[in-house]
Amino acid sequence: MKFNQSNIKKAKKYLDGDYCIGVPTETVYGLAANAYSNIAVKKIFLLKKRPKTNPLIVHYSNISDLKRDCLINDNFIKLYKKFSPGPITYILKLKKDSKISNVVTNKEKNLAVRFPKHKIFKKLLNQLNYPLAAPSANISTRLSAVQAADVKEEFGSKIKYILDGGKCNIGLESTIINLIKKPSILRLGGLEVAKIEKVLGKKLNLNINPKSKIGPGQSQLHYSPGIPLKTNVKKPKKNEAFILIKKRKVNLDNYFYLSKTNNLSEAAKNLYACLRRVKNKGFKSIAVEKIPKTGLGKTINDRLNRASKY
Ligand code: TXA
Ligand code: MG
């Protein structure tokens, strides 16, 4: 997608005016607003129908801007050097004099932060003098948006502008790591946990379905296409959509392929778009074949399992 200065200007104008807009990131589209403005971030919660207890991720363009709001530590620096900008979100302690709206954090003393890699989003962030709070651009519990048209489908004319950055390259949300005490993974995502463990030199606790929820986004029902979905299916029922990881010779109207050759990155990139397409075609239920539980397959399985709680 070509970079277009006038679109970025438009986006900035709306954000400066405390409006929410759709923004492209390499993971999924975000619904963005000025993280320093109570008025602006309240709109995010209203538009998404998001419980106000569910805190937002804040996006920064560089580490020196981050340092105005958060305390950093050694683990953060190691991971930042290796993986940012990119699909990883860090939970850090907020500084006492941070300007982050307490609507963003629901008055908690920590903050989820991310450095996005998408070129257009980075250009936009560079022109603002505030960071952007941006949860995924979908109504709460529903499918994430991976292209501008999906954001439009979710919010219609309720949002003023969508900055079009083409299709998301990764297609799954960022991996979330809590770095406040002993590092632990709060959400599987677009960066494989094994790669993070390699940099930190230790195994990490997975805290992705905790009994007391740290992030309410860890709740069971999430990423739902709004119709029943079953995983690990060998044979679909009649009239059911069947999603397969690898292209077969069969070309039936109810067969949908996530990748040509069992490629998990390609499947990740196609997952949400495929689920959205199936739903929009009017199918009443979805069956998904077994997806390997290796690499990004772990994240794909996590999302499908949550989507199946419908
Ligand atoms: O890839 C992504 O992370 C995308 C793009 C737009 O950056 N954003 C995204 O945001 O997925 P959202 O709001 O859909 O998911 C953020 C998750 C939620 O489950 C929320 O509960 C959790 O992060 N979260 C936010 N702040 C937190 C905090 N301080 N502690 C623990 N979890 C937090
Ligand atoms: Mg989300």
- Per-residue model confidence as pLDDT tens digits over 289-307: 999 999 999 999 999 999 9
Among 27, 57, 144, the mutation site with the greatest number of ligand 1 atoms within 8 A of its Cβ is 57
The pair of three-digit structure tokens given for residue 255, joined into one six-digit string: 């067969």
User: What confidence tier does 190 reach under pLDDT thresholds 50, 70, 90?
Assistant: very high
- Per-residue model confidence as pLDDT tens digits over 32-82: 999 999 999 999 999 999 999 999 999 999 999 999 999 999 999 999 999
Q: What is the mean pLDDT of the chain?
A: 95
- Per-residue model confidence as pLDDT tens digits over 97-142: 999 999 999 999 999 999 999 999 999 999 999 999 999 999 999 9
- Per-residue model confidence as pLDDT tens digits over 259-270: 999 999 999 999
* CA 100 to chain centroid: 20
Low-confidence winner among 173-177, 217-221, 229-233 (lowest mean pLDDT): 217-221
Q: Cβ neighbours of residue 287 under 8 Å, at least 6 residues apart?
A: 229, 230, 233, 236, 237, 240, 241, 242, 243
Measure the CA–CA gap between 122 and 114, rounded to whole angstroms: 12
- Per-residue model confidence as pLDDT tens digits over 12-38: 999 999 999 999 999 999 999 999 999
Q: 8: CA distance to ligand 2 center in Å?
A: 24
- Residue type, position 273, single letter: A
Which CATH number is 5-206 given?
A: 3.90.870.10
Among 89, 106, 172, 177, the mutation site with the greatest number of ligand 1 atoms within 8 A of its Cβ is 89
- Helix and strand numbers (H, E) in the chain are 9, 14
Residues around ligand 2, an ion, CB closer than 5 A: 136
- C-beta separation of 59 from 30 below 8 A: yes
Q: Which part of the chain is CATH 3.90.870.10?
A: 5-206
Side-chain half-sphere CA neighbours of 285 within 13 A? 14
Closest protein CA for atom 3 of ligand 1 = 174
Listed in order, strand segments (DSSP E) in the chain are: 21-23, 30-34, 57-59, 70-71, 88-94, 110-114, 132-133, 175-178, 184-187, 205-206, 229-230, 241-244, 255-257, 286-288
Burial (CB count <10 Å: 0-12, 13-18, 19+), residue 225: buried
Q: Cβ neighbours of residue 82 under 8 Å, at least 6 residues apart?
A: 199
Ligand with the closest atom to the CA of 187: 1
Closest protein CA for atom 30 of ligand 1 = 215
Q: 289: CA distance to ligand 2 center in Å?
A: 24
In ligand 1, the atom with minimum distance to the C-alpha of 173 is: 1
Measure the CA–CA gap between 50 and 238, rounded to whole angstroms: 36
| Ligand 1 pocket by Cβ (under 6 Å) | 25, 27-28, 30, 54-57, 89, 91, 108, 110-112, 114, 134-136, 173-174, 176, 186, 214-218
* The predicted structure's pLDDT at residue 146: 98
In ligand 1, the atom with minimum distance to the C-alpha of 29 is: 6
Measure the CA–CA gap between 148 and 137, rounded to whole angstroms: 10
* The predicted structure's pLDDT at residue 218: 57
Percent of residues, the chain, with pLDDT higher than 90: 91
* pTM beyond cutoff 0.85: yes
Q: Is 111 left (phi over 0), alpha (psi -120 to 50) or beta?
A: beta
Residues in the chain: 310
The pair of three-digit structure tokens given for residue 10, joined into one six-digit string: 């438009």
